[in-house]
Amino acid sequence: MTLQHVIYVFQGIVFLFAISVHESAHAFTAWRCGDPTAKMLGRVSLNPIRHIDIMGTIIMPAICLFTGFPVIGWAKPTPVDPRNFGHEIRDDIFTSIAGPISNFLVATLAVICLMLISLSSPQASIIVKAAMLGYPGISNSALVPISVLLYQGMVINVLLGVFNLIPVPPLDGSHVVRHMLSERVRDIYDRVGIVGLILLLLVGGNLLMAMMSPFISIFNSLLMRV
């Protein structure tokens, strides 16, 4: 198994963890806002088996890995009944953005861990920066796989967080926009959303990269300073 294959395995592990955190955050927030639907179905869980969607969790990430595109995808939607919310619009928005926020929090935690590793010694700093650049095979230290795993964790969680905030149904960002629309426009928005999502995935690669790159750059700049 080559180093690149190891990175692919790490990306798969991180992706499964990231979607589990994401969907658990949706389910937990909905429960705290008054809707127990997802909790009763066992979706407040970090077990990825509870969240796997064949297309979004397996096929789409596999295509990304095969083509060299950043790993993005989605999990099985978390069931939510807004009628159970105390404040339907506000709580629906809170529940929707909880997923992306959870991914940004995990990414931040990964960067903090990498910064602590980097500060531990000059050699560790070199290992972390090599992991960032995609050339971690410079040492036999146990810090190498740890740094690669943490860095991939940061990247994939940022990608998922940004991707899900795009205001295209059924992504999380659409739940914020749709409440600003009239009922008639909202129905059209919901119906054509999946078409927009497919077009975005098929031909919007450059747009997606342009949206995601600034966020990755922010975290990278923090790591380069230590």
Taking the CA atoms of 196, 202, 203 and 207 in sequence, report the sign of the dihedral they define.
Answer: positive
In angstroms, the CA 100 to CA 112 distance is 19
In angstroms, the CA 201 to CA 207 distance is 10
H/E element, 15: helix 3-32
> pTM of the full predicted structure?
0.90
Q: Going residue by residue through the chain (226 aa), what tens digit of pLDDT does each one get?
A: 566 777 888 888 999 999 999 999 999 999 999 999 999 999 999 999 999 988 888 888 888 878 777 777 788 989 999 999 999 999 999 999 999 999 999 999 999 999 999 999 999 999 999 888 877 666 678 888 899 999 999 999 999 999 899 998 888 999 889 888 888 898 888 888 778 777 777 776 677 788 888 999 999 998 988 8
pLDDT at 137: 62
